[in-house]
Structure 1
């Protein structure tokens, strides 16, 4: 399948979303074997994605914004039933995107407010637009428990020195192993083509798949 700038893309099934997600392809990256697209989503966000079998691409100009429209659902390779996420599937199948971010010079109070507003457990910390690590709820609690002033301590001051990164194409089971070895609960995802973070996955997301595929 050849994808062009301007084509519409629909994510017909994501485990953590109740509705389909619609967007427009703004840039085609990667290779034919490992495609990557920059997508402007209809909700105003923009992100890079490595499409899985749940991605449906439609020609530019197609009206796909009605969720009651007859858009074909993602199917398994055998064509029997909906695609089920398994432990050996790429982690992009369960990643959350777009990723919430915070500037490295933002205070812990600002970071905490962003976490609460977005209802997420971790933020990607950017310095001059480049991701340098992640800041979790646990990091903030530790900093405050140690006497840190939420209005004086910067986000960059408390992020882990060695953030554990993964690729969207890495198997879910492999990412679970990273979490276990490094004692982390959130892993940001980035591709080799583009340095920007394209998604993030939590221990809860991974455990749900491992439990269902027992």
Structure 2
């Protein structure tokens, strides 16, 4: 797979979804529902403090019997999460996420969050690469202008 960088190859024009540590779990749930996302970055200004995911809400809030309306994110977030820099290879992100079993990875520079990559974002990169590989192999095997989709006339 050609080296694709997290920024700008995977993440482009991303609107960050951030809340401060004292925001409630309910605030995070509402933001996730509104933006149709599965994770929120917990920041103080632009400084990354943690991340809260749907899985965190299920395990650390609902299963623990905490009240989402009064529980601050600082209590249930994953503090100081792993990050990668924007210049990191997409493959490095995928390997890190697979090794630690998480689906979202903040992208940061010197502790300042600049993006977040999801396994879905990385899947799109892998899929695109595989499609390109198939097209290139078909062109090599059958010559230019031929493909598996060609019909016999």
Cα distance in structure 2, aligned partners of 1:129 and 1:90: 22
Provide the TM-score with structure 1 as the length reference.
0.55
**C-alpha displacement of 1:213:** 1.4
Higher relative contact order (CA 8 A, sep 6+): 2
Name 2:33's counterpart in structure 1: 116
Cross-structure match for 1:99: 16
Q: What secondary structure, in the 3-state scheme, does the structure 2 residue paired with 1:213 have?
A: helix
Contact 1:167 1:190 (8 Å CA) reproduced: yes
- Find the residue that maps to 2:28 and give its secondary structure: helix
After superposition, where does 1:1-214 map in structure 2 within 5 Å?
88-92=3-7, 93-95=9-11, 97-127=14-44, 130-142=47-59, 143-192=61-110, 195-214=111-130
When the two structures are superposed, what TM-score results if normalisation uses the length of structure 2? 0.76
Shift of 1:136: 0.9
CA contact (8 A) 2:21 2:44 kept: yes
Q: CA deviation at 1:116?
A: 0.8
Number of residue pairs aligned between Structure 1 and Structure 2: 127
| Greater alpha carbon shift after TM alignment, 178-187 vs 129-138 | 129-138
Check whether the contact 1:98–1:198 (CA below 8 A) recurs between aligned residues: no
Structure 1 spans left out of the alignment, 5+ residues: 1-85
Q: CA 1:162/1:129 → structure 2, altered by over 3 Å: closer, same or farther?
A: closer
Deviation (angstroms), 1:179: 0.2
Higher-strand-fraction structure: 1
Give how far 1:161 is off: 3.7
Are the structure 2 counterparts of residues 91 and 188 from structure 1 closer, same or farther at C-alpha, using a change threshold of 3 Å?
A: same
Instruction: Report if aligned partners of 1:87, 1:173 keep a CA contact under 8 Å in 2.
Output: no
Q: Which aligned segments of 4 or more residues in structure 1 are displaced greater than 4 angstroms?
A: none
